[in-house]
Amino acid sequence: QACLAHHRQARPLANPADRDHCIQYMMAVPLIFGRLSAADYEDTVAADPRIDALRARIHCVEEPQFTRDYLDPRSAPSPTR
């Protein structure tokens, strides 16, 4: 829930920071190009109209266990593990 609320973007994505916080963008680019790299967040790639067309068709749903893990400090990654 928290992740979806933060990363579900229906508005236009103005810059790389907007794009890397949009689940639909992070799904659309690999479906179209077969990859997702740092360069794919730049304006030159984002200008492809297929991305926004596909973003509009992607519907994300919550996986309740992911939400529980996201909110549980015991499940946070630790560099000492």
Q: What is the pLDDT of residue 24?
A: 93
Query: Do residues 14 and 20 lie in contact, with contact meaning Cβ atoms separated by under 8 Å?
Result: no
Q: To the nearest 5 percent, what fractions of the chain are helix, strand and coil?
A: 60, 0, 40
- HSE toward the beta carbon, residue 8, CA cutoff 13 A: 12
Q: Per-residue pLDDT for 37 more than 60?
A: yes
Q: What is the pLDDT of residue 19?
A: 94
Average pLDDT over residues 25-45: 97
Q: How far apart are CA 11 and CA 52, in angstroms?
A: 10
Q: What is the pLDDT of residue 73?
A: 84
First CA to last CA across the chain, in angstroms? Answer: 27
Superfamily of domain 2-75: 2-methylcitrate dehydratase PrpD (3.30.1330.120)
